[in-house]
Amino acid sequence: MSRTTTVCLLTDECIHAVTCERRGRGWEAVARSQQELRLPDSLLVSHNPDELADAIAHAVNESHTSPSSITLVLPLQWCFTHVLARPKKRVTAEALAYEFEQYLPLPLENLTCAFVPSGNGNMVGVGIPTTPMAELIAALSKRNIYVEHITVDAITAAHALDSVNGSSSVMILDARWGRMVTGIKDPGRTVTAAFGLSECDNLAAAVAQQLQHRALSDGGIPPRWSVLCLADTMSESALEPVLNNGEERPCYFSPAEAVDTVALAAASVPQALDLRTGPLAGEGRWSQVTRLASQCMLCVLALLLVLTGGVHIHKQSLDQQFTTVNTAQREIYREVFRTDTLPPGAALRVASERIRLEGLTSVRGTVATQSTEPTLQPLATLRDIVAGLPTDVRVMLLDVRLDDKQLTIRGQTLKHRDAERIVETINNLPELVAHPPRTTRLRTGGVEFSVIATGVRSNGQTSHTGS
């Protein structure tokens, strides 16, 4: 799976977007585009970040790729640099920054710094103004372009070219700007320099002067060095006096070659110098996804809060209604039991009271007496028998036993027939069945009889069979 990245190279008059694709161990430029825009000489002069962002976006879009992130290559002109002496012990970037601050025209708080080790052990401090860069990054972000790395052209090119042709000293020339870096990889003197070329009439003389002034004062021209020309208007012949100045002719890169070289260097070694750190640190490649996730989570959070609030309000309302019901229950309980306190399970107590009262009154009493056994009302039965006796029958009761199940009568009468008529009277009662009487004639006259009758259920079945 090939990996693609877009490098955006800022030069003085033009913005180059180069799409680089990783092939094997190296990178290859697969698409190029450019957008002309005159860049300010410094980030500290007033400029419109949106205008610059528009130009970058245009150049990136022109390269017919849809990158999610780009590497921004800044000109050395926009940076503050200083070579710091070799640290005596391991130090952090923050500690070096305090040392770096004394050579800066701005407070450290306004800069984003990084430190590149040079060949002789010194550290090259590089700082860019934070605020304008942050504005530019934000403007690009609005145009859906995420800046993954920020690097500096001369330093990145010096790193890359050292591994290509062994020349870690480079000079990059634009129409208006020139910058050079020496000693990044080799043990010679480390120099970083940015200079203007717009005011000079003789380009070669101006470059030569810078060479003499900056780099060659104590070491001469480095044995191997490269000149990268980014301006189309600048020809190699115009630089001939400079190129032939040293013992060895430098590698010359035409504008097309120079753009590719710097772009590939930035694509391959962004870690050589990355100013997307400190205050300019990015939120990561997945920042948009995480931002979207954050927004989604916020929405869900708000939804949940609203839902929770709604549920809470509904619960409050139900609680109020429950209180009303509870009050009504207390009122009923108070009316039933004449007490103001509402015990737990009040409804059960009221129901129990209802059941108890049903049990104590005729309703449940009737139910209770509706057993399978017949029940006689003794006195009422006796009254019914006496009331039902024929008026011409004379009877003397000797013994009457009557309970809720059985009637036993022993008495005396005048004739056997009268005993039979007594039994007929008993049988006329619906709740009794009498057996034939047992009679005995008395010597003194008359008949003694005994009758047994048993109670019956409604279906006529007798309850006792032994009588």
Partner 1 sequence: MDKPLTQAPDSTVGRRTHRRRITLLAGLLALVGLLCWSQWRALASTKDTYATALRQLDQMRIDKERIEKLRRTPRTATSRTRPNEELLAQIEQSLEAAGIDRAKWHDSVPQPAVRLPRSDYKRMTTRLYFEAITVKQLAAFAHHLQSSDPTLHVSAVNLTNRHTDRPDFDVDLAVSYLVYAPQEGRQTSHGLP
Q: Which of 284, 343, 430, 436 binds partner 1 (CB under 8 A)?
A: 284
Per-residue contact flags (x/-) with partner 1 for residues 400 to 439, judged by CB under 8 A: xxxxx-----------------------------------
Q: Are 336 and 342 in contact (CB under 8 A)?
A: no
Q: Which of 274, 422, 434, 463 binds partner 1 (CB under 8 A)?
A: 274
- For 224, other C-beta atoms within 10 Å of its C-beta total 17
CB of 433 to partner 1, least distance (A): 19
Q: Are 280 and 130 in contact (CB under 8 A)?
A: yes
Q: Rounded to an integer, what distance in angstroms lies between the CA atom of residue 374 and that of residue 387? A: 22
CB of 45 to partner 1, least distance (A): 25
Residue 212 has which token pair?
Answer: 């003499």
96 is an interface residue for partner 1 by CB under 8 A: yes
CB of 100 to partner 1, least distance (A): 11
Q: Which of 187, 351, 394, 417 binds partner 1 (CB under 8 A)?
A: 351
121 is an interface residue for partner 1 by CB under 8 A: yes
Q: Which amino acid is at 419?
A: A
Applying CB under 8 A, which part among 29-37, 205-213, 292-300, 434-442 lies near partner 1?
292-300
385 is an interface residue for partner 1 by CB under 8 A: no
User: Residues 438-446: contacts with CB within 8 Å, 24+ apart?
Assistant: 441/416, 442/412, 446/412, 446/413, 446/414
Q: Which of 353, 428, 438, 440 binds partner 1 (CB under 8 A)?
A: 353
Q: Which of 363, 417, 424, 461 binds partner 1 (CB under 8 A)?
A: 363
CB of 88 to partner 1, least distance (A): 11
Q: Rounded to an integer, what distance in angstroms lies between the CA atom of residue 413 and that of residue 438? A: 12
Q: Rounded to an integer, what distance in angstroms lies between the CA atom of residue 208 and that of residue 205? A: 5
Buried b (16+ CB within 10 A) or exposed e, 175-210: bbbbbbbbbbbbebbbbbbbbebeeeeebbebbbeb
CB of 247 to partner 1, least distance (A): 29
CB of 246 to partner 1, least distance (A): 28
Q: Which of 106, 205, 292, 347 binds partner 1 (CB under 8 A)?
A: 347
Site for partner 1 in 51-80 (CB under 8 A): none
- For 31, other C-beta atoms within 10 Å of its C-beta total 15
